[in-house]
Amino acid sequence: SQKIEQNSEALNIQEGKTATLTCNYTNYSPAYLQWYRQDPGRGPVFLLLIRENEKEKRKERLKVTFDTTLKQSLFHITASQPADSATYLCALGGRALTFGSGTRLQVQP
């Protein structure tokens, strides 16, 4: 069955540093991979989508890479801020999404 792995341990970094989150998947060949942000008690908010034929996608301080050979996506937040503290979810697919369990990011001032 399809499996998505995100680091369940929280990632703690200092303000101004680059945060890097990992999403690994097995038994799946997604045409699309999406990243969402979720704050406590709220619904997920879409951040970025990357297609299987794209290696990298950027949006402001965010960067996503997609390696279909390694079956891995990396999500980077540069110049991180305390306001970036949240849980970040990786999701495979374009429509009926399969989500990972998310990684909690804590940015310390």
Partner 1 sequence: NAGVTQTPKFRILKIGQSMTLQCTQDMNHNYMYWYRQDPGMGLKLIYYSVGAGITDKGEVPNGYNVSRSTTEDFPLRLELAAPSQTSVYFCASSYSGAEGGSTYEQYFGPGTRLTVT
Question: Which residues in this chain contact partner 1 in the complex, by CB under 8 A?
Answer: 4, 8, 32, 34, 41-46, 49, 89, 91, 94-102
Q: Provide the 10 A C-beta neighbour count for residue 56.
A: 11
d(CA 7, CA 54) in angstroms, rounded, equals 24
Shortest distance in whole angstroms from residue 44 CB to partner 1: 5
Q: Which is nearer to partner 1, 22 or 99 (CB)?
A: 99
Distance CA 92, CA 52 (A): 11
Shortest Cβ 7–partner 1 spacing (Å): 13
